[in-house]
Amino acid sequence: MSTERGEFSSRIGFVMAAAGSAIGLGNIWGFPGQAAQNGGAAFVVVYIILSFIVAYPVFMAELTIGRYSQSNIVGAFNIIEGGKKFKFVGYMGVLAASLIYGFYAVIAGWMLSYVFNAIFTIMGFNEIAQWCIDSSSLLRNISFMGVFGLLTMYIITGGVKNGIEKWSARLMPALIIILIAMIIYVSLQEGAMKGLAFYLSPDFSKIGDGKLILSALGQAFFSLSLGVGTMLVYGSYIRKNENLPVIGALVTLADVGIAFMAGFLIIPAMFVAQASGVEIYAADGSLIAGANIVFQVLPELFDSLGAVGPFFALIFFALMTIAALTSSISMLEVPVAYAVDDLKLNRKKATFIFGFTIMAISVVLIMYMDVLFGLVVSIATQWLQPIIGLLLCIFIGWVMNRNQVLGELKQGYPEVENSFFYKIWPWFVRVICPVLILLIFYTTLFG
Ligand code: PHE
């Protein structure tokens, strides 16, 4: 193998990096928002079930293919016998990762812009603070996206150990501390209990709803960073003596756990905002959702806090930016690893080429926000991710030789053949996951 590839230095290094990828805006903002819209705890229950029965098996498929091939999502199909026909899946993965990075950097740029808004407000520079959050300014949108993109590229040029692993290990603990501190603060405020009651009382009438299930599946795939080749390439950097099913389960638990925890911050915070006079219901009577939670309700809440408001805003948006950064590096790593492994570029060059090309995509998304943004998000996350996940299941379940798969798992887990995991996982990737994914597509299209 080329020495350019790199490897995580330890188990904890991998867990931090993979959890850093998984835990992102999808957990802290997407999940609570979806739960608020889709019947509170009913959505939470469906999401948790799908995370373990569909997302975890697909996650394991990616880790196993990655570590076995010691390659990226395109290269893996060159290396594994029978893979040639599946090479298009690899290119789809690179495309999906690039599109997701393209829109994610725009949103992350907004988070960063609120960090600067808070800093300038604290310093008393109100005019420039206001410019930072002027959503109609093209220059503002492009500059903050650009700064975020450069940060991502900087980390990726550092490589696996000194870039991805080092920064994930620094930023993830900070993220968890900020999250817990904010949950404690918010739950002591007036209105928080109402939010908790809303979050934890399920509206089971919504549970059979096809849309709820598709949203929960999409959320689970997005949240675990599946179906784009991120986890596959991270898998290729794990040492051979690590137990894949166990570390996969740890990362899944961390991802689901943080999403669930973020619900204890965002939903009560909305009701705290309401108690201080902020409108949290839209004109049609439904709870405000999507971008408006983060960029309208919460800033109004921070404003209502008076002098300490900007400090809370700073901490909250720093949390969002950190979460976004440890995820965005894992997105950019997909095309970069492909370029390093297969196109034989050096890492710096690969990072510059793909980093700036995708930045151009982000600029286009900013300029044609109304027509393109939602479309690209839904193509990448609702279609490409689950379809690629499905194809990876079929590949590992039906095309890859059983002994190759078993042999790979055995490397860090010699008794795997007799484990509960190995009794059921092969059937999940062969039959249950593909059927469930297809069924969920079917109900959305025709149900
Ligand atoms: N899992 C990340 C989040 O929850 C998003 C992501 C998707 C990261 C795909 C990498 C690849 O925000």
* Domains of the chain, first to last: 11-446 (1.10.4160)
For 329, the 3-state DSSP assignment is helix
The set of protein residues with a Cβ atom below 6 angstroms from ligand 1 is 21-22, 24-27, 100, 222-223, 225, 228, 230, 327, 330-331
Task: Give residue 214's pLDDT band: very low, low, confident or very high (50, 70, 90).
Answer: confident
Q: What is the number of the ligand 1 atom nearest to the C-alpha of 323?
A: 12
Q: To the nearest 10°, report the CA torsion of 213, 219, 222, 225.
A: -90
Q: What is the best residue among 327, 376, 377, 385 to mutate for testing ligand 1's pocket, by most ligand atoms within 8 Å of CB?
A: 327
Q: What is the number of the ligand 1 atom nearest to the C-alpha of 227?
A: 9
**What pLDDT is stored for residue 4 in this prediction?**
64
Instruction: Give the pTM.
Output: 0.94
**371-413, pLDDT tens digit by residue?**
999 999 989 988 899 999 999 999 999 999 999 999 999 999 9
**60-111, pLDDT tens digit by residue?**
999 999 999 999 999 999 999 999 999 999 999 999 999 999 999 999 999 9
Residue 230 CA to ligand 1 center (angstroms) comes to: 9
- Euclidean distance between CA atoms 43 and 156, whole angstroms: 35
Q: What is the number of the ligand 1 atom nearest to the C-alpha of 385?
A: 9
Q: Residue of the nearest CA to atom 7 in ligand 1? A: 225
Of all residues in the chain, what percent carry a pLDDT higher than 90? 82
How far from each other are the two terminal CA atoms of the chain, in whole angstroms?
48
Q: Residue of the nearest CA to atom 6 in ligand 1? A: 225
Q: What is the number of the ligand 1 atom nearest to the C-alpha of 22?
A: 1
The Cα-based distances of 319 to 24, 127, 414 in angstroms read 10, 24, 40
Residue 63 CA to ligand 1 center (angstroms) comes to: 16
Kindly report the CA angle at 385 between 379 and 386, in degrees rounded to 5? Answer: 110
